[in-house]
Structure 1
Amino acid sequence: MTGRGPEGLVLCSGCYCDQVIHTSEEDQWKVEDKFTDAYGIKVRCGMGMFNVMMAMARAREINDFRIFWEAVHKLSNEKFCDDDGIENGTWYTLPSDPPNFGICAGCYVAIAVPLDISRFFVPKRETQPAGTKWRCCFNLAHPRIQQFLPRLLEMYHTHDTTSFDKFASVYSSVPVCPRDQDAQNKHWYGWMDCTICPECYHDFAVRSPLATKMDLNNTLLETSAMCEMYSPRMRDLYTKCSETSPCDVTELLKYSVQRRLVWMQTVPEIRMMLFRAKMALNQQQFLNITSSYYKQAGMLQDINYGHTHTYGAAGVGYGYANENLLQGAIYAQQAAQVGSSVANGSAVLLVGHLEQQWRAVE
């Protein structure tokens, strides 16, 4: 469905039923035949864009759809809020201008303006370097979006930027915790035997007396490291060590070394086995598709031309009307063999056993 909005704005039938029907706006939309009757093309529903969805939500909330139409018309003149980022864009930020925080002009006109919070955003003073892409902090692909949205909602209800500003000033520049993934050339807190990522440090560890005893303080490590403090077990141990008098990190470091040893013995092997299984499933899918192609070609050949003799091969049997059917059977057998290797019971048991070992100390 398309409406009186800018060219290219369309809704799928599901979103039209959910968002437009019974709003008295039905006459503003019409069926877009060139998309409805088309095959082999992909069309993005307008409600699949967060800023358009927010403008519609605000219009429905106050039952004034002029807000929606004004927002989407302004949005059509701005650069698309791309998941990969925007090059040479126009950016807005909070008055304190937190580092690495900004929303694109599209989200400003379609989110901040309809929600009546545009006065809390100002043009970003920092100039975007040429050839670089910045990702909008209101884009759903942003790693902090799950934390930004509740604070956006709070700012909308309270008309107070304090919470949002305080959070953005710290976490906009802090990478997401890598958890049990190896990370290289990253900044770390803690100790060499117990590395803590910046997010877990600011979120948890900084409030402890142990924070003053750390050997690493936002230190860049070129070697591989993983965060230890995402784990509830490690956080409990960290808290216990900080409550001793005087606070002593010995027990924490001792357990962390043991934990890493178990990680090295289990997690890489689990990931390798899962990777092999994924590759095998992809191979099986390819073989099944190829088998179907040859079988279909063989059946059509037999229908159109018949056959005077049959084909066969050891392992797949005999009696196939033509070589295409035989080749299809060979590929089908190979797919079955790959599938049986993926579903190998011993491999499943081994993964489960290794996972139990890791979970016991994680």
Structure 2
Amino acid sequence: MAWWAARLMAGTIFQSYFGTYPEGVITKWSCDMSIPYISSAAASMSKHNNWNGFVGAARRRLRLPACTGEQIRSDAMPWYISKYYGIDKFQVCETCYLDKLALTPFRKEFQRLSDHTDLEMWPCRLTDKNLSTATALEAALSRRDFEVFAKAEQIICSLVPCTADGILYGNWWTIPGCEKFNICEACYAGFVQTRDLDRFFQLSDRDTYTAYVCDFCPASPRFSQYMCKFGEMLDRGVFSYLSDFIMTFAGVPACPRIKGSGKARWWGYPEALFCHECFVDFVYQTPLGESLPINGEYMEQATICQIWSPRMRDLWLEVCRAGDPGSEESEAALAQFKTCCVQRFQVYEATISQIELIRTMQDIKRQTAFSDGMLSIRYSGMDSMATIFGNGDGHRHGNSSLGWFNTSYGAQSKQYWNSFTQGLSDANRTEDWVRIAQLENLWKQVE
């Protein structure tokens, strides 16, 4: 904490209270100033030279466990609820209350729950995992209107969570003209309604009988991109920053890169195929983007995208700069590019495919070893129980290499243990890792 705290407190009246640890102290640290309640308390109390108040606040917060969002017993820690709005099933653990509410104008809207006697299992509703709730709180704080948050949370708490497992039934929203983008009702309440963006969305008529992962869920393939565009849209105040991106990329599979992909649509040439994402994001915007002989053709066999890496994109731009499409110069540069792609694919089959095979075999050996380890523990327990209750047959079991045991269970346990250690050793052979490094270096020469 020392170096970051000193940096945060530099120039404040608390600066003299911080220093560096003595040299030679070697241990792992986590920065306590990264905890919102502690950093906010430091900033607030330094203005009033209240060092003891800051120390007390820091101690209170550091005694609390991190909020995981999992259900815990209602008597495991203090909980907070809304004073004036009856939000059903809305409870906030003390950790999240301190970090997200205690030092905000909304602290007066909550009270500590002190007379709860029924033992229940509760999840904290302000955990970082609940993005719709977190963004609703952020919007309400920026508008200084707690009712905005309360209305959103009344809806969110009544719905199933937005998770990677997807959602059955329910209401879904999209933007006009885009059937492949859908957000769930909880995210609509938290992201859209709290910012008065309702007019830009409409109810979706998608099939509700199939589980669907919300596009604003972290498990969605384009979640991070959607969030960046959503933030840019809010910052600039122009909805098209988000809607244009959605219209372009919604439903477009992510580039497979070196993993390869089958049963997909491809663009480009027989010798050089481009995935849907790279075509839309890059190739289509270049002079040769509209003259590809393969245009969205569906292919069953697995192949790789030839245009996702910076090197291959630079080579493609050189082809585009060589001359007008169809000219002799352009055709010559294009032929050279195709030759490069063919060679690249050959190297891919000789390197990446082999790397995947080696790693698959390592995983199999590792899983087999762990199975043998579990069997060793099980047979060891059986050996101990048989010995304690005198269920042995009076003979010693084993051999000179395994050792000798009171029961056959003990000998079997030792045999499984030897298989466990040998299997782990085989899964981490030095020659395999050296071979992987050599193959990766070969691939990098064409990548």
Structure 2-normalised TM-score?
0.71
| Pairs within 5 Å for 1:135-146 | 135-146=213-224
Identical amino acids, percent of aligned pairs? 24
How many Å separate the matches in 2 of 1:298 and 1:55? 59
Change in Cα spacing, 1:278 to 1:17, as seen in structure 2 (3 Å) is farther
Specify the alignment match of 1:244 in structure 2: 322
How many Å separate the matches in 2 of 1:175 and 1:59? 35
- Count of matched residue positions in the alignment of Structure 1 and Structure 2: 352
Specify the alignment match of 2:428 in structure 1: 343
How many Å separate the matches in 2 of 1:289 and 1:44? 36
How many Å separate the matches in 1 of 2:111 and 2:159? 27
State yes or no: 1:101 paired with 2:181. yes
**Aligned with 1:157 (options 232, 235, 240):** 235
Question: Aligned-pair distance for 1:234?
Answer: 0.7
Letter in structure 2 aligned against 1:54: T
**Aligned with 1:266 (options 327, 347, 351):** 351
Q: Deviations over 1:7-65 (max 9, x none)?
A: 555556654553345453662456885338xxxxxx68652222122223334555654
SS of structure 1 residue aligned to 2:298: strand
Change in Cα spacing, 1:131 to 1:62, as seen in structure 2 (3 Å) is closer
CA contact (8 A) 1:155 1:164 kept: yes
How many Å separate the matches in 1 of 2:193 and 2:399? 71
**Aligned with 2:197 (options 113, 117, 130):** 117
Question: Aligned-pair distance for 1:345?
Answer: 1.5
Q: Deviations over 1:293-328 (max 9, x none)?
A: 32234334434549765432353122x233333222
Letter in structure 1 aligned against 2:234: Y
CA contact (8 A) 1:88 1:130 kept: yes
CA contact (8 A) 1:209 1:247 kept: no
CA contact (8 A) 1:85 1:136 kept: yes
Change in Cα spacing, 1:153 to 1:132, as seen in structure 2 (3 Å) is same
CA contact (8 A) 1:98 1:165 kept: no
| Pairs within 5 Å for 1:315-334 | 315-318=401-404, 320-334=405-419
Question: Aligned-pair distance for 1:114?
Answer: 2.3
How many Å separate the matches in 1 of 2:409 and 2:351? 45
How many Å separate the matches in 2 of 1:45 and 1:355? 45
How many Å separate the matches in 2 of 1:260 and 1:334? 39
Structure 1-normalised TM-score?
0.86
How many Å separate the matches in 2 of 1:325 and 1:34? 45
How many Å separate the matches in 2 of 1:114 and 1:65? 11
How many Å separate the matches in 2 of 1:192 and 1:12? 58
| Pairs within 5 Å for 1:29-48 | 29=113, 33-35=119-121, 47=127, 48=129
Letter in structure 2 aligned against 1:283: T
How many Å separate the matches in 1 of 2:145 and 2:164? 30
Question: Aligned-pair distance for 1:282?
Answer: 1.5
Structure 2: segments with no counterpart, 5+ residues: 1-78, 324-328
| Pairs within 5 Å for 1:91-240 | 91-94=172-175, 96-124=176-204, 127-129=205-207, 131-240=209-318
Question: Aligned-pair distance for 1:231?
Answer: 1.3
How many Å separate the matches in 2 of 1:163 and 1:314? 74
SS of structure 2 residue aligned to 1:112: helix
| Pairs within 5 Å for 1:284-295 | 284-295=369-380
Change in Cα spacing, 1:300 to 1:55, as seen in structure 2 (3 Å) is farther
Letter in structure 2 aligned against 1:184: G
Q: Which moved more, 1:80-89 or 1:220-229?
A: 80-89
CA contact (8 A) 1:192 1:216 kept: yes
Specify the alignment match of 1:69 in structure 2: 150
Q: Deviations over 1:92-130 (max 9, x none)?
A: 222x33231121111111221223433432323xx2236
CA contact (8 A) 2:387 2:407 kept: yes
Q: Deviations over 1:239-278 (max 9, x none)?
A: 1111112423111100000000111111111111111111
Q: Deviations over 1:63-108 (max 9, x none)?
A: 65444333222113334424243333312222x3323112111111
How many Å separate the matches in 1 of 2:285 and 2:166? 34
Question: Aligned-pair distance for 1:292?
Answer: 2.0
RMSD of Structure 2 on Structure 1 (CA) = 2.8
Specify the alignment match of 1:275 in structure 2: 360
CA contact (8 A) 1:316 1:329 kept: yes
Quick check: which has more Rg, 1 or 2? 2
How many Å separate the matches in 2 of 1:296 and 1:60? 58
